[in-house]
Structure 1
């Protein structure tokens, strides 16, 4: 017996925008465009400065940007910042 739902299941390689890019990835790529290959170092410095200024939310945001482009460096940074 056939199901009454005749829609095909979503493809595993569905290219829906939300599946490919979330806000963190979009911002990380935008900032990468602005800073080039120095972007990850910029994110790390910004995260350290934000945490030193007591702005944990901003530090975590920059850490997330770093993780979007260089997960290994983000893990080291999280350890250095005492957040990981």
Structure 2
């Protein structure tokens, strides 16, 4: 039994790596979590400001349209 346990431990250290403790995640395990979180935050922020910018542009266009004088309707036969 002792020999089988030693073989398993040697195999485990080969698979896990001598620098990593069993049961503890390595630094490389956190890389996708950090990058995906960063990506979601960046894209979320960019989408918020893109939507806000388009909303403000529409609001600005409406204000400019309401400020401009409305042209009088042309009647047929009127001289220009």
TM more than 0.5: no
TM range (shorter): under 0.3
Larger radius of gyration: 2
Question: TM-score under structure 1 normalisation?
Answer: 0.24
